Structure formats: structure tokens, C-alpha cells
Amino acid sequence: MKIFDCPILGPRPASEFQCAGSALAGMQNDDLQSARHAVYFGDATAKVKREWWFHRASQLWFIVSRDTATDSVIEIALASAAGADHDA
């Protein structure tokens, strides 16, 4: 199983985490156009993605940089710390 080398929790198996989609899209609440764009023209190319990941056991949210081309985790940060620059 993939191991997330978490700076807060230490190495944890991926099964404890749950992906909640792109961290760049925010909540897509205020703008219908961007919401539609995310659905129909979402970026599906293989590259480094920033995503929301939830750790079930600790109830913590993380922003994870993940390279979908190599299926490797590059960086993990607490969402509250990383959240500022994603504020919609």
C-alpha cells in the first residue's frame, strides 16, 4: 500500500486518507461559469496536482501535491497552514 509520509502524523497508509478533489478549484460556489468549467473542462492531464486529502483517524485535512504521472506523493501540508492561498 502507498504510504503517505506525513509531516504531522508520520508515515501512514493511504487507506486512512480520503481524496476530496482538486485544491485549486476551491468550493466553486460563487461563480457558475467556473463551476461548469471544472466539471466539463477539468484538467485531467497527468502532472503534479494539488488535492484535498482527509485523514479519517485524526480528522485532519491536508493539501497534498501528487504527481499523477508517477503516482507519487510530493508534498503533504496541513490544510489550515496551506489554506490561505486557496481561499476562494
Partner 1 sequence: MTHRLPPQPGEWITRDAPLAFTFEGVACQGFAGDTVSSALLANGVRVLGRSFKYHRPRGVLSAANHDANVLLQTATDLNIRSDVSPVMAGESYRAVNTFGGVVRDKARAIEALSALLPVGFYYKTFHKPRRLFPVWERMIRKLSGLGRVAPGFPEARLPWRRLYCDCLVIGAGPSGLAASLRLAAAGARVVLADENARVGGSAAWTAGAGAWLAAAQATAQDSPTMTVLTGAFAAGLYSDLEVPLVSREGLTLVTPRRLLVTTGVIEQPAVFRNNDLPGVMLASAAQRLVARYGVAPFTRGVMLAGNPEACEAWVWLLERGLTLEALLLLPGFTPPPETLASLQARGVRMVRDVTALEALAQDGVLAGVRCEAGGREHRFVCDGLLMSTGWAPATQLLHQGGARFAHEAVIDQRIPTELPRGLYAAGRVNGVYDFEARRQDGEAAADEILASLGYSSAGTPRPARAGEAHSHSRPFFAHPRGRNFVDFDEDIQLHDLEVACREGFDNIELLKRFTTNGMGPSQGKHSNLNAARWLADYHGVGMDAVGSTTARPFYHPVPMGVLAGRRIRPQAHGALEPQHRAAGAVWMETGAWLRPRRYADSGPTGLAEYRAVREGVGMIDVSTLGKLEIFGRDAVRLLELAFTGRFASLKAGRSRYVLMCDQRGTVVDDGLAACLGEHHFYLTAGSGHVQATCRQLTQIAALYGLQVEVVDRTRQMTAINVAGPRARMLLQPHTPQGLDDVAFPFTQVRDTTLFGLPARMMRVGFVGETGFEVHVRYTDGPRLWQALLDAGAPLGLRPFGVETQRLLRLEKAHLIVGHDTDGVMHPFETPLAGLVALDKPQFQGKAALDLLQHQVTRRLIGFETSEGGSEALEECHLIIREGEICGRITSVARSPVLGKTIGLAVIECPAGQPLPEAMELRNGRGQLVRASLCAGAFYDPANTRQNEGAA
Binding positions for partner 1, rule: CB under 8 A: 1-3, 11, 13, 18, 20, 26-32, 34-35, 52, 54, 56, 59, 61, 71, 79-80, 83-84, 86-88
SS3 79: helix
Query: Considering only CA atoms, which of 1, 33, 38, 37 is closest in space to residue 16?
Result: 1
Cβ-contact 62, 76 below 8 angstroms: yes
Shortest gap between Cβ of 58 and partner 1 (angstroms)? 11
Shortest gap between Cβ of 38 and partner 1 (angstroms)? 9
Nearer to partner 1 by Cβ, of 31 and 67: the residue is 31
Shortest gap between Cβ of 47 and partner 1 (angstroms)? 18
In sign, the C-alpha dihedral spanning 60, 65, 66, 72 is negative
The Cα 64–Cα 9 span in angstroms is 14
Nearer to partner 1 by Cβ, of 27 and 44: the residue is 27
